[in-house]
Amino acid sequence: MTAISELIQRDGLVVVCGSGGVGKTSVSAALGVLAATQTQKRVLVLTVDPAKRLANALGLSALGNTEVQISADLFKNSKTKLRGTLAAAMIDTKASWDELIIRHAPDEATRNTVLQNSLYKNLTERFVHSHDYIAVERLYQAHASGAYDLIIVDTPPSRNALTILDAPKRMQDFFSSRLLKLLTPGSQWQLLALAAKPFYEIADRLLGKGLLRDVADFFTLFRTMEIGFVERARNVEQLLHDPKTSFVVVTTLEDAPLSEAEFLSTALKERKFTTSFAIANRVIPKELKSAALLKQAEVLNQFRNDAEATSELASTLTGSEIEIETNLLSQTMATIANYAQATTQIIEHQTALTDRVVSFADNFASAPMLETDIADIDGLIALGESLNIG
């Protein structure tokens, strides 16, 4: 077992994945803050779609695709100070695609035709899991720039978290698919066009006239960018498999997200990615222990059932101008006892699930259930520190 502190000591990349709604974005941001406050590294957090308050916490209110340095001023009221530097950026899929087209297009005419094509927008939104591809592409870009020692990327929500790992491969496969070659005229385009003819006819009957032809025309343009795209996708894939890239799987201690985390973790191992951590988020605070809670619940129930004792306590309670009725005090104590008992059930459930997390993960860290949403840098510092402790 290693601690989170070791993860942030390493230079490299951290890919944070897990099911939707488990707090991936907060965990990513907190890891970034922890790294930039505990080490002198240049840290970047790439995030997909942060909650407004979390974005504000990072000072990210009004930015898009560009990386923004987080000012040390943000830490001025905190005990913890920046030692390294911290940058953050959101991943804007559409803008990133435009950048890719601009980079890979062989000439200005192709570039403009692609960018203005009506299929293009639809394509960038959905084709070959483009959000996933863009996330890893951005990770590669940031890495290749050499401007950062540690890059943490928060993965986009997807049906299956594995799609992100397969995205570079899929991009390469797409360009080498026979179908694409069949549909788009290459060097021997006349022959191919002839072979494609029956397909066009069937497609016209099924889909409507000309639709497939329009699509083919678009991909003909797109294929002019093949070399650039394929090489890039290959580099991105290599980077994901680099030992410097580690994967962190975040989960809450609930059945569905945990099953997803288990599945993901197994798949990561099978594919020989470097998995570093499983993080259990929103865990009942450690100081709440079942045995003690049950005992206190019993003490409360015994006390409140003793009418005389309760009445005596009611009359001695200070801090209110209104006199407390014995009955009301007794009811309140009953509720507290109930909560103490209910919490033990949650603890037991969480403990059982924690065992599952520990069994599939080499390293394990947890963060407590928070009483409020993270709204400022102190919230991120606190989350990072609790991850660091365990």
Partner 1 sequence: MLDRKLLFITGKGGVGKSTVAASLARAAVAQGKKVLLCEMDAKGALSKLLQTTELGFVPREISPNLSAMTMNTQDALREYVGIFLKTPFIAAIPGLAGIFDFVADAAPGVKEVLVVGKLCYEVRKGNFDIVIVDAESTGHIVAQVAAPTTLRNFVPIGPLNEQTLWMTEILEDSQKTGVVVVTTCEEMAVNEAIDLVAALQSKTNVDTAAIVVNRVPSEVFTKSQEVVFAQLNLASNKLVLTKKAGSNIDLALQATDLGRARRNLATHHISWLRSGLAEMRPIKDFLLLPDFSYEASGALVNKLSSELEAELS
Site for partner 1 in 267-326 (CB under 8 A): 284-285, 287-289, 292-293, 295-297, 299-300, 302-303, 309, 312-313, 316-320, 322, 324
For helices 326-360 and 290-305, angle between their N-to-C axes, nearest 10 degrees: 170
Cα–Cα distance between 337 and 334 in angstroms, integer? 5
Task: Report phi then psi at 364, rounded to 5.
Answer: -140, 135
* Bridge pairing between strands 85-90 and 68-69: antiparallel
At position 272, the amino acid (one-letter code) is K
Q: Which is nearer to partner 1, 2 or 127 (CB)?
A: 127
What minimum distance in Å lies between the beta carbon of 150 and partner 1? 25
Least Cβ distance, residue 334 to partner 1 (angstroms): 10
Q: Does 329 bind partner 1 (CB under 8 A)?
A: yes
Touching partner 1, residues 2-21 (CB under 8 A):
19-21
User: Hey, how many other C-beta atoms are within 10 angstroms of the C-beta on 167?
Assistant: 25
Work out how close the CB of 309 gets to partner 1 at its nearest, in angstroms, rounded to a whole number.
6
Task: For 242-254, give one letter per residue: b (16+ CB within 10 A) or e.
Answer: eeebbbbbbbbbe
Pick 12 or 157: Cβ nearer partner 1: 157
Compare residues 187 and 372 and give the one whose CB is closer to partner 1.
372
Residues 208/214, Cβ–Cβ less than 8 Å: no
Hey, which residues between 21 and 40 contact partner 1 (CB under 8 A)? 21-22
Write down the least CB distance from residue 370 to partner 1, Å.
8
Nearer to partner 1, 11 or 312 (CB): 312
**CB 130 → partner 1: shortest distance, Å?**
10
Least distance between partner 1 and beta carbon 163 (Å): 12
| CA torsion angle 352 356 359 365 (round to 10) | -80
Nearest-angstrom CA–CA distance, 207 and 242: 44
Q: Which of residues 116-175 bind partner 1 (CB under 8 A)?
A: 119, 122-123, 126-128, 157, 159-160
Number of residues that bind partner 1 (CB under 8 A): 82
Quote the least distance from Cβ 274 to partner 1, whole Å.
26
Binding mask 64-93 for partner 1 (x = CB under 8 A): ------------------------------
Q: Roughly how many angstroms between the first and final C-alpha of the chain, as a whole number?
A: 11
Which residues face 290 on adjacent strands?
none
Q: Is the dihedral of CA 197, 203, 208, 210 positive or negative?
A: negative
| Binding residue for partner 1, selected from 152, 180, 248, 249, defined by CB under 8 A | 180
Query: Shortest approach of partner 1 to residue 313 CB, angstroms?
Result: 6
Helix (H, G, I), strand (E, B) or coil at 154: strand
Ranges within 187-246 binding partner 1 (CB under 8 A): 199, 202-212, 214-215, 218-219
* Cβ proximity to partner 1, 18 vs 384, nearer residue: 18
CB 105 within 8 A of CB 224: yes
Rg (CA), the chain: 27
- Cα 365 to chain centroid distance, Å, stands at 16
Residue from 72, 191, 256, 307 in contact with partner 1 (CB under 8 A)? 256
